[in-house]
Every structure is written in structure tokens, then in C-alpha cells.
Amino acid sequence: MGSTPIEIVADCIRESSPLGEAATFELDTHLARTGIIDSLAILSITASLEKRLGLKIPDDLIQPQNFTSLRTLVELVDGLPRLT
């Protein structure tokens, strides 16, 4: 399991992907177009990120454009405050 934000986000994507651990992607791979994530995976990724990173992703940010790639997800969580 990763310890940096990018590793944590990548782990959450793999764990939530219909492809499971077989999901391979790079920083800018389009996750939905390649079948790595679907709408259910978005919800699972959201819950996992909130738990692992100690943050809350507002409902209005749970949009497909924020889940396009590993890069967009890392940018999303980097811009959110951590809960104390």
C-alpha cells in the first residue's frame, strides 16, 4: 500500500476498478474510456480516499471530470483540506 498521495490514489483506483489489480494506468490515462473505472468505482474511490486521507470530498466535486485520470484525482484531493 502506498504512502504518498499519488500512491494512495492509485491504490484506491485499483481496489475499486472492475479490473481489480489487473488495472494498469499512467498519470494521464483516461480511466473511464479504458474501462478502469465506472460509475460504481467513482463512489468506491470517493469513500476510500475520504477514509485514507482524512478528508471530505464535497458532493458537487464528485463529477466525472474530476475522475478522468490519476492526475485529476490527485489534483482534486490535494486541493481539499484534511479533517482534524
Are residues 73 and 11 in contact, defined by beta-carbon separation less than 8 angstroms?
A: no
pLDDT in tens, the chain (84 residues): 668 999 999 999 999 999 998 999 999 999 999 999 999 999 999 999 999 999 999 999 999 999 999 999 999 999 998 886
Q: Where are the domains of the chain?
A: 5-78
CATH fold group of domain 5-78:
1.10.1200
Cell of 38: 465506472
DSSP state letters, 19-45: TGGG----TT--TTTTTS--HHHHHHH
